[in-house]
Structure 1
Amino acid sequence: MTPDEKHIKRINKYLTSINVLYNDLVREIALLVVNLKVSEKLFRFKDYSRITKAVSEALMTYNNGLLSKIRTYTEYEWDFANQKVNDLLTDNMNAIKPKIPTTAYDSKMREISKQSQNKKALEVFQERKNGKFTVSERVWNITKQAKENLEFAIDDAFKEGMSAQDLARKIKGNLNNPDALFRRVRDKHGNLQLSKNAKAFHPGQGVYRSAHKNAMRLAANEINTAYRQSEQLRIQGNNDVVGQKINLSPQHKVYDMCDELAGSYPKDFNWSSWHVGCKCFRTMILKSPSELITEINNGQNQSPESSANFVSGVPDNFNSWLSENRETLEKRKSKPYFLEENKKFVS
């Protein structure tokens, strides 16, 4: 199994843990509300003063747990990416070790080790704003949406005499299809009463009506981006890397933009994915063994441009894709991340 295949497998494992976090929230909320005497009006936690504090605590536990898991898992994948690059560069050096001086080999190995010490960059990554919001702000928005989702789900699920277990099961079933849930609650209470609350069910571009889906989407994207950004720093910081190739995942079955954008790119083309959920992966393009041996034996550390393998520009298919999609892209309020990060390559 390749390092990138292991990376995808780990993400799936992390998401299982985040799913448990949401299940725990639903179960705890069900225990809090099951013995309430519920009125006929639209269910809102704030109308039941004896549970409002406990509900707030449960939501804060979920919020803090989600943020903590995202931070922990992004750090894990940051380190795994560092190790992946270390292994590649080490293997590259070991292949030419007999043909270069021992002192030069030791020096290059120290350089590789030093480049992996980029924890400060991880901290900057974790605190960055993506668009208008930091990750902690996005998690808080998801928590607020989770509260609204739960209120709609409880309104529809609640029946006198239900056990907490049955109520939790019914709530979870409702949360799996928030569109249908909204229609049922709207029909039950009428449009006028729901007009203010309906905003929660009109999310922006790239956002689901389900808080849980948004949590899973955010976590998967952050964890994958951490892995790719750690790779990116190492690629940019090492002269032996002269380009990068972005490849289709073996699991890629349906033709989409990934097929149209795959290819060899400059090493400073900032890439983490083509779209949310993208499973494409990159391989590093290195100086040839003969170039590296000659360079080291001459006591040089040549720039990437010196290599015959150097990738100087984006592939033609990237420019073709831009031309074909320019009109659609110009209408979008937010541009794809890889375009925002690579403006110098966008003609």
Structure 2
Amino acid sequence: MSATIKDVAKLAGVSMKTVSNVLNGYPHLTPETRGKVERALAELNYRPNIAARNLRSGRTGLIALAVPTTMNPYFAEIAHLIVREAQDRGLTVLIDCTEGDLEREKHVAEGFRSQLLDGMILQPWSLSATYLRNRADRTPLVLLGERKVQSADSVAIDSKAAVAAAIEHLVGLGRRRIGAIGPPLTKRTGAPPEPRRRHAGYLAALTAAGIEPDPALVAHHQPNAPHDVTEAVVDHLLAQPDPPDAIFCFNDRTALATLRELRTRGVRVPDDIAVIGVDDVEGARLSTPSLSSIAPDKQGIARTAVNMLTERIEGANRPARQVVAGFEVMARESTVGTDAMERAGGG
């Protein structure tokens, strides 16, 4: 039988109200009293009755997470981290893959199953900032990514700064013909801002390094395709009169596919062409060669998103916050080579 608050209070030698105060984070308790209760909680392996708590609060304990796809490892990893953060707060996460479809994203933003949900975390891929700003549903909402809406909290890395760090890394290694592979750029309403910002960051970083951007070194592919990088994309870059000596990929899924395409053509990485991506997914560390990548603070993104959503669920009435998450350059074999990695002790 599961331990109750009464059992904890008896073992700790305090009242049930004191146990409740500890469980709810009441600050005005002596360290001695708090310690006795926490030791009793641990000894009895006490677990709070979330259902009863939710019934008293009028909440369900359910939140939704909607991402474009879980086929992209980045979104799968973010989803995993958000689920863990939510569990730590007694919340259950319902996950929906929208495939970036406009109507499915509208369904989420307008509070699908809103009678069941306390709040939602959404990575919009097709919804415009105007639509999100004017949505009728009042279910608490937190956005992932760089779609900024004055009426909703959001968290993301700064794509332009992240790309600049990647280009600076390549330039520091002596690379001057730096190509790029990413999804087609579009100005359509609701198009995700990340590709445009990463392309702008790529151009700005090259210019800052004194390198004239060459449009012929930029290749495009359809996003979220089963194989992001086709033979034609890599062949286009290799067929240039002065081919690239480095390739920046807009995400790791593309970069990993690029590594494979280059290898099948006998191109040595990084001797002939260095490759770097963005996202630092698990596969980046496992590929051959291991993939250099810009690593967003995914744990921080997940924790911040859940924290902001929890604040809203609990009634926080404050202006919307746009939180910029950190990132770092993870230099691996695809840019610095095997010898440098061995000297650095792996990575």
Q: TM-score, normalised by structure 2?
A: 0.24
More helix per residue: 1
More strand per residue: 2
Over alpha carbons, which structure has the higher Rg? Answer: 1
